[in-house]
Amino acid sequence: MLLNKPERVSTMIAYRKTKAASVVATSFLLAIWHMPLSAMQAMQQPPAQVEVAVAEKRMMAATMVATGTVISLNDSRIATEVEGPLAWIAPVGTTVKSGEVIAKIDDRLLLIAERQAKATLNGLKATLVYREQDVNRYERLAAQDNASKARLEEATASRDLLKEDIANAAAMYDKAVGDLERAQIKAPFPGHVVARIANKGEYQTVGSELVRLVDTSEVEVTMPVPISVTPYLKTGDMVAVDDGQTIRMLPIRTVVPVSDMVSRMVEVRLTAEPEAWVIGAPVKVSLPKNTPVEAVAIPRDAVILKDGQRYIYKVSDAMTATRVNATIQAVVGNWVSLESGIVAGDKIIIRGGERLMPGQSVAIN
């Protein structure tokens, strides 16, 4: 069927509109197909509830990273004070309280020595009774001029020497009793038995090391730092400590004012919470290395550490989460400044950012 000219024009226009719509639809499908899965999921999820803080200008100092180690304030190798075969020793990993027995020395010979010392002391005390009576008798005779003064002085001197012998015997008896008590080696502080240096049945002499005992309730972080940064370190200042999983703020307990003559480093110690650390764990500590300057800062809680990466989320004008890599430039208390990516006035997510995805809609609580 032949169409007249107006009908042909209308048909061509309709065809072109249909073709254009098809091209637009195809382009949209291709865009969806190539869109990252995280972006598609972010578009599909409802707005996430978050808390924010506003980035602000603060006085901040550039920092350096020092490598530190978590140590115990009480880490001792406990030795025996008496001789004898080792009869028992606590297993590795045992948790003990202060005063609890951690090893025992065979006390057979010590019991014999204690009985001998007691017998010697009792014998001398019995002799003293006789000597006292002797002195009293000579005193009466001398008063009646029936005995010489020389004889009285001799009896008195003999009695006094015996008293000194008794004092010495009493000291030996006390030592024997003490040795018997020290055959049970007790923990001088609470902690964990982390190593057995001797084994059951081995003969021990005075001073032989038996166990290594470590107190896990009193810990510190220690690190060497260059002398050049010590002017910026003050007792009580809070510094950031990173153990690879969590960043914590710890106070400086002391800066030892003596350096190593070779390395030119001084020791800095931080007070740490015992529950959060394993003795011997390595940590990285951010320390100020120059005078504070004004910089844009955000709360430390905004920094997310995940899969070995640090980043933050800020809220865009479209109320979506924008991810910013966090390269920390300075840390002061609970505030950190980043090298780039934020300006004063930005809304930084401090709660609820751990499960966000870039581009996800957010709602501020």
Give the Cβ contact number of residue 288 at 10 Å.
21
- Tell me how far apart the alpha carbons of residues 210 and 79 are, in angstroms, rounded to a whole number: 5
Q: Does domain 45-62+290-365 have CATH number 3.30.590.10?
A: no
* 42 vs 122, residue with greater confidence: 122
Q: What is the pLDDT of residues 331-363, one digit of tens each?
A: 776 788 888 889 999 999 999 888 888 889 999
> Across residues 162-167, what is the average pLDDT?
92
Q: What residue ranges do the domains of the chain occupy? A: 45-62+290-365, 63-73+218-288, 75-214
> pLDDT at position 336, please?
86
User: Integer distance in angstroms from the first to the last C-alpha of the chain?
Assistant: 68
Sheet containing 84-89: which strands, arranged edge to edge? Answer: 184-186, 101-105, 84-89, 203-204
Name the pairing type of β-strands 219-226 and 63-72: antiparallel
Residue 302 DSSP class = G
Q: Does domain 75-214 have CATH number 2.40.50.100?
A: yes
Residue pair 221/281 in contact (Cβ under 8 Å)? The answer is no
Q: Which two tokens stand for residue 10?
A: 């209308």
Predicted TM-score (pTM) of this structure? 0.63
Count Cβ atoms within 10 A of the Cβ of residue 32 and give its class: 0-12 exposed, 13-18 middle, 19 or more buried: exposed
Which range of 61-65, 222-226, 248-252, 348-352 scores highest in mean pLDDT? It is 222-226
What DSSP line would sit under 74-98, residue for residue? -EEEEE-SS-EEEEEEPPTT-EE-T
Confidence of residue 300 (pLDDT cuts 50, 70, 90): confident
The answer on pLDDT for 246 being more than 90 is no
The answer on pLDDT for 166 being more than 90 is yes
- Taking alpha carbons only, the member of 336, 248, 333 closest to residue 297 is 336
The answer on pLDDT for 28 being more than 60 is no
- Tell me how far apart the alpha carbons of residues 299 and 332 are, in angstroms, rounded to a whole number: 10
User: Which residues does 282 contact at the CB level (< 8 Å), separation at least 6?
Assistant: 67, 68, 69, 243
Would the CATH topology of 63-73+218-288 be identical to that of 75-214? no
Q: Does domain 63-73+218-288 have CATH number 2.40.30.170?
A: yes
Three-state secondary structure call for residue 356: coil
Q: What is the pLDDT of residues 92-151, one digit of tens each?
A: 999 999 999 999 999 999 999 999 999 999 999 999 988 888 888 878 877 777 667 778
- Tell me how far apart the alpha carbons of residues 352 and 345 are, in angstroms, rounded to a whole number: 20
Q: Which two tokens stand for residue 346?
A: 């930005």
